[in-house]
Amino acid sequence: MFFGLEWYWWLIIVVVVAVSIPFKVNFMKWWSERRKEQKGCQKDKWGGEE
């Protein structure tokens, strides 16, 4: 088959990619919320608000 891989390896690769996409979406949502929280309470070098 393609690149010398058998059909079942392609099936495994497709399943792994399909399962990982929702995890990536959830991680990106969590990461953007975390960045907003950190940006909201960020302090300057001397401890005052920016």
Residue 17: pLDDT band (50, 70, 90) is very high
pTM for this predicted structure: 0.55
Per-position DSSP letters for 14-33, written without gaps between them: HHHHHHHHHHHHHHHHHHHH
How far apart (Å, rounded) are the C-alpha atoms in residues 41 and 21?
A: 31
CB 45 within 8 A of CB 39: no
For 20-46, the pLDDT digits (tens) are 999 999 999 999 999 988 887 766 566
> From the CB of residue 10, how many other CB atoms can be counted at a distance below 10 Å?
13
- Please give the pLDDT value at position 47: 58
